[in-house]
């Protein structure tokens, strides 16, 4: 892959983009407003460096990735799209559904690709669970839930749902194959006057599929548990454990002459290929610079922001 990619943002996550793209052989430029930080990065990665986005847009890069603070996503991505270049924007795409929808429309108008950095969609375990769901092995989907719990990192500028839940919303939508149709959310705040520390959000999907997301940064231990329940079987995965096992539970409830009967068979460990999600995400972006993005495209990123907005509204209403 000889595509030339420029990374916007040399902060913590931007440096992950930079390192990974360099390893892939596609890093060609870095934009970082802090000149001192930029110079340090250029000592490690011998590519073109810029302190201004406009300077980079004058060069012949094939695509850009944006890893700047979320309030800047819209402004930066809009300039890139209007210059006729494809872009991967970190999650959340923007801070409002209105601006996210505008970016989707701009990308379509300019004939460029817009992708959102929902990196868990490229986690090999998540891809494997999607494969299991689509195979019919679980039967009809009943409900799903995602717990994302830890002590920290506590934010002062956004609540825990905006901070943690974009991952979970994107994964649930990916599994179901459709955005949620109804959202109910409740939250609690303890540490700061206007920032929620714990939220529980219920999502209703078509075909009587339901889900909930429980997120908290005020929790005694780390948990990133995902559970999928179907009519024929169940799956669980916890990314916070050392084993990171996908477990298939051959369990269900049958009815015999109108009587519910519990069916339980041995649990199986499902193997999957070990790959780095960020590497897979960036490879996918590079491979799809000239063709339609099917996973984590702009429209799916817009649906995630819609849920974030609606949940925020419900939380504030109490």
Percent of the chain's residues with pLDDT above 90: 98
Same domain, residue pair 103 and 151: no
Task: List 90's β-bridge partners, or say none.
Answer: 117
* Whether pLDDT at 3 is above 90: yes
Q: Is the pLDDT of residue 318 over 90?
A: no
- The mean predicted confidence, pLDDT, of the chain is 97
The length of the chain in residues reads: 318
Strand-pairing partners, residue 260, are 255
pLDDT band per the 50, 70, 90 thresholds, residue 226:
very high
CATH of the domain at 40: 3.40.50.720
Q: Are residues 179 and 79 in the same domain?
A: no
Q: Is residue 301 part of a domain?
A: no
What integer pLDDT is reported at residue 76 of this predicted model?
98
Q: Look at residue 108 and tell me if it is in a domain.
A: yes
**Long-range contacts formed by 150-154: CB under 8 A, 24+ apart:** 150/216, 150/217, 150/219, 150/221, 150/222, 150/223, 151/217, 151/218, 151/219, 151/220, 151/221, 151/222, 152/217, 153/217, 154/191, 154/195, 154/197, 154/217, 154/218
Domain of residue 174, CATH code: 3.30.360.10
pTM of the full structure: 0.95
User: What is the CA 87 to chain-centroid distance, rounded?
Assistant: 16
Angle formed by the axes of helices 12-24 and 277-287, to 10°?
60
Q: Is the pLDDT of residue 261 over 90?
A: yes
Q: Please give the helix or strand (H or E) that residue 22 lies within, else none.
A: helix 12-24
With respect to residue 302, please indicate whether it lies within any of the assigned structural domains: no
Q: Which residues of 242-279 are buried (b: 16+ CB within 10 A; e: fewer)?
A: eeebbebbeebeeeeeeeeeeeeeeeeebebeeebbbb
Both 49 and 143 in one domain: the answer is no
Q: Is residue 185 part of a domain?
A: yes
Q: Rounded distance, CA 20 to CA 117, Å?
A: 14
Q: What is the pLDDT of residue 195?
A: 96
Residues 35-93: tens digit of each pLDDT: 999 999 999 999 999 999 999 999 999 999 999 999 999 999 999 999 999 999 999 99
Q: Within this chain, do residues 133 and 267 fall inside the same structural domain, yes or no?
A: yes
Residues 31 and 94 in one domain: yes
Q: Can you give the residue range of the structural domain that contains 43?
A: 5-118+279-296
Residue 229, SS3 per DSSP = strand
Q: How many domains does the chain have?
A: 2
Is residue 31 a contact partner of residue 50, using CB atoms and an 8 Å limit? yes
Is 93 in the same domain as 147?
no
């Amino acid at each position: 892959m000889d595509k030339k990619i420029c990374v916007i943002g040399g902060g913590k996550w931007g440096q992950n983009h930079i390192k990974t793209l360099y390893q892939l052989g596609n890093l060609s430029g870095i934009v970082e407003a802090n000149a001192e930080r930029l110079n340090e990065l250029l000592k490690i990665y011998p590519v073109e460096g810029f302190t201004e986005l406009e300077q980079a847009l004058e060069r012949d890069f094939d695509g850009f990735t944006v890893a700047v603070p979320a309030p800047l996503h819209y402004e930066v991505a809009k300039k890139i799209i209007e210059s006729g270049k494809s872009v991967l924007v970190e999650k959340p795409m923007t801070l409002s559904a209105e601006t996210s929808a505008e970016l989707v429309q701009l990308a379509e108008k300019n004939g460029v690709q817009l992708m959102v950095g929902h990196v868990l969609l490229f986690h090999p375990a998540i891809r494997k669970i999607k494969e299991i769901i689509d195979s019919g092995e679980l039967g009809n989907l009943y409900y799903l839930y995602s717990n994302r719990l830890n002590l920290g990192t506590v934010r002062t500028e956004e609540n825990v749902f905006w901070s943690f839940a974009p991952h979970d919303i994107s994964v649930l939508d990916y599994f179901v194959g459709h955005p949620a149709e109804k959202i109910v959310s409740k939250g609690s705040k303890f540490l700061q006057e206007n920032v929620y520390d714990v939220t529980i959000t219920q999502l209703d999907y078509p075909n009587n599929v339901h889900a909930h997301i429980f997120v908290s940064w005020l929790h005694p231990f780390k948990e990133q548990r995902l559970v999928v329940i179907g009519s024929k079987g169940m799956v669980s995965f916890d990314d916070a454990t050392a084993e990171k096992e996908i477990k298939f539970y051959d369990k269900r409830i049958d009815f015999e002459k109108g009587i519910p009967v519990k069916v339980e068979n041995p649990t199986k460990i499902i193997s999957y290929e070990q790959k780095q999600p960020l590497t897979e995400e960036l490879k996918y972006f590079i491979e799809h610079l000239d063709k339609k993005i099917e996973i984590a495209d702009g429209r799916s990123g817009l649906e995630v922001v819609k849920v974030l907005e609606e949940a925020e509204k419900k939380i504030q209403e109490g």
